[in-house]
Amino acid sequence: MKTLTVSVVTPDGPVLEDAYQMVSCKAESGELGILPGHIPMVAPLTISAVRLKGEGSSERIAVSGGFLEVRPDKVTILAQSAEKPSDIDVDRARKAKERAEQRMAEKQADIDFRRAEHALKRAINRLDVKDNNF
Ligand code: ATP
């Protein structure tokens, strides 16, 4: 079966590069399923899981937004942060979730509320990716 090279890159460096049969992710416009030969495009991603289907194996990655660039034989994901389940620290994510919930409950200025909301989404996404909970 045909494959495409998937590369996930963050400001801290590359997280993954390998060949897969399909990439599923959540763009701001909705769910996307990318197969080899897809038309070129660029799309902003939400805080969500990226699923990579390979031959007999699959991988999932928690991404904190960023961009997806598609070419017929390659998908590049540029994200502010991206973690495989094995790299996710559950304790840290739980604490981040609690902190964010507290901040949101304190009814601070709008900008702080939105920051806390994003932090909450990142924490929940990490916990969901770790648990394979979708
Ligand atoms: P925290 O408040 O715990 O720092 P955060 O959502 O604000 O969480 P980010 O700014 O998204 O953190 O990420 C900063 C760096 O820390 C990135 O390299 C990211 O991959 C890493 N990181 C954040 N949370 C976790 C986690 N729970 N497990 C593993 N790595 C994490």
What average pLDDT is seen over the chain? 95
Q: What pTM, to 2 d.p., does this model score?
A: 0.94
pLDDT of residue 110: 75
Nearest residue (CA) to ligand 1, atom 29: 88
**pLDDT for the residue numbered 106:** 86
Q: What is the gyration radius of the CA atoms in the chain, in angstroms? A: 16
Residue among 61, 63, 83 whose CB has most ligand 1 atoms within 8 A, to mutate: 83
The closest alpha carbon to 54, from 9, 97, 19, belongs to 19
For ligand 1, atom 1: residue with the closest CA: 96
For the chain, residues with pLDDT lower than 50 are none
What is the distance in A from the centroid of ligand 1 to the CA of 125? 11
Residue nearest to atom 16 of ligand 1 (CA): 81
CATH domain 89-131 topology: 1.20.5
First to last CA, the chain: 27
pLDDT at 108: 66
- Tell me how far apart the alpha carbons of residues 70 and 84 are, in angstroms, rounded to a whole number: 21
- What pLDDT is attached to residue 6? 97
- Give the other-Cβ count within 10 Å of 80's Cβ: 13
Lining residues, ligand 1, CB within 6 Å:
12, 64, 81, 83, 87-89, 92-93, 96, 119, 122, 126
Q: Where are the domains of the chain?
A: 4-83, 89-131
CATH superfamily of 4-83: F0F1 ATP synthase delta/epsilon subunit, N-terminal (2.60.15.10)
